[in-house]
Amino acid sequence: MFIRNQFRGSSATVRITLALTGLLLFVCAPALFAQDARVVVASELRSDGAITYHYRVFNDRTGAAVVAVQIGADRFSGATELTGRPVGWNARTATPYDIGFAIPAESSTSPTGFRVALIRMEESALSKIEWRAVDPTASVPAGARRRGFSVTLPQPDNAYKNGHWTAIFDDGVSASALLENDPNPAQPDDDQQPLPDVTPPHLTLTIDPMMIWPPNNKMVRVTTHVTVTDDRDAHPTVHLVSVGCSDGCDTTKDVSGASIGTLDTEFLVRASRNGDARSGRVYTFVYRATDAAGNSVNATVSTKVPHDRRDNSPFPR
């Protein structure tokens, strides 16, 4: 009876809703929140007793830029954590933005193209600090790190040093974790300095036609289609590495127009195969893509002269 009445009450409904919400967040978290960024902090105690917290943002994600950074914001729980207010900040006189309130210039710094704001939560004394790119070109690109985010408080506040950070990417994905101490706060300004590029390009190949019929010993035109992308290099290079065939054919006679070392995509191949090889003849073309950092990847595409058309299939085998 007690259990039945409990489920009828509104408090039970709230408990069930929260439990289901937590379960959904646990299941969906990998898709909603990407741990592909880091924020480190260093503190500087000033002679007047105030303290400045300096933040550095590392974007380790591929293909997405950081457009906003929040301190004192746990994206997973939705909680805000900051109680301390920047030097000179006053709720009555602060300039309102579309989201949050301006922070005095004497108690904050922002990288070029970013704007900083203090965001207060309704019916709560807690807040968070957000730097948001007001110029799209100012965002922290993939593989880059950015310093220049700082805020000064009248006295230390551990939440600014040990609390959560949240980074928001331009595709809507967020990363969130606890702040880390900056291991090298004296490092020279590395604004816009890219991290080492270790990711090769993505190379995709298709070929037309995929099969050649009939095997009448004539030369047939074959065209390859090359698509290449890279997370850093807008124009990676592509070239033909090799051309081969599977049944011991002579590529000097059975393949024409293949220029190794160039982006050659038009060839003539002989519509022929060894009648003893049930697998037919396969012409194989290998390409290599290389980005500006020297990372490279190979991809292969092939076309086939089948042995026969068994089972009356409209497609040769």
Mean pLDDT of 197-218: 94
| Measured distance CA(146)–CA(144) in Å, rounded | 7
Nearest alpha carbon to residue 179 among 302, 37, 274:
37
Question: One fold for both 34-194 and 202-312?
Answer: yes
Mean pLDDT, the chain, whole residue set: 84
Span 260-271, average pLDDT = 97
Domain boundaries, the chain: 34-194, 202-312
Q: Is pLDDT of 12 > 60?
A: no
pLDDT of res. 35 = 64
**How much is the pLDDT for 3?**
35
Better pLDDT: 200 or 8: 200
In this predicted structure, what is the pLDDT of residue 187?
62
- β-partners of residue 225 are 206
Is it the case that residue 112 has pLDDT exceeding 80?
A: yes
Please report the pLDDT score of residue 34 as a whole number: 47
For residue 203, what pLDDT is reported?
Answer: 97
Q: Full-prediction pTM beyond 0.85?
A: no
Q: What is the mean pLDDT of residues 74-83?
A: 90
What local confidence, expressed as pLDDT, does residue 285 receive?
A: 98
What pLDDT was estimated at residue 26? Answer: 40
Q: Give whole-number Cα distances, 201 to 62, 63, 102, 232, in Å.
A: 11, 12, 42, 9
At 183-198, the pLDDT tens digits run 877 665 455 455 567 7
Has residue 146 got a pLDDT over 60?
A: yes
Which pLDDT value is given to residue 76?
A: 85
pLDDT of amino acid 9: 46
pLDDT at position 10, please?
A: 47
pLDDT at residue 310 in the model: 67
pLDDT at residue 93 is higher than 50: yes
pLDDT at 1: 36
CATH number of 202-312: 2.60.40.1080
State yes or no: pLDDT of 280 exceeds 70: yes
pLDDT at site 51: 95
Per-residue confidence (pLDDT) for residue 41, from 0 to 100 = 95
> Does residue 68 have a pLDDT over 80?
yes
Report the CATH number of the 34-194 domain: 2.60.40.2230
Q: Which pLDDT score is estimated for 265? A: 97
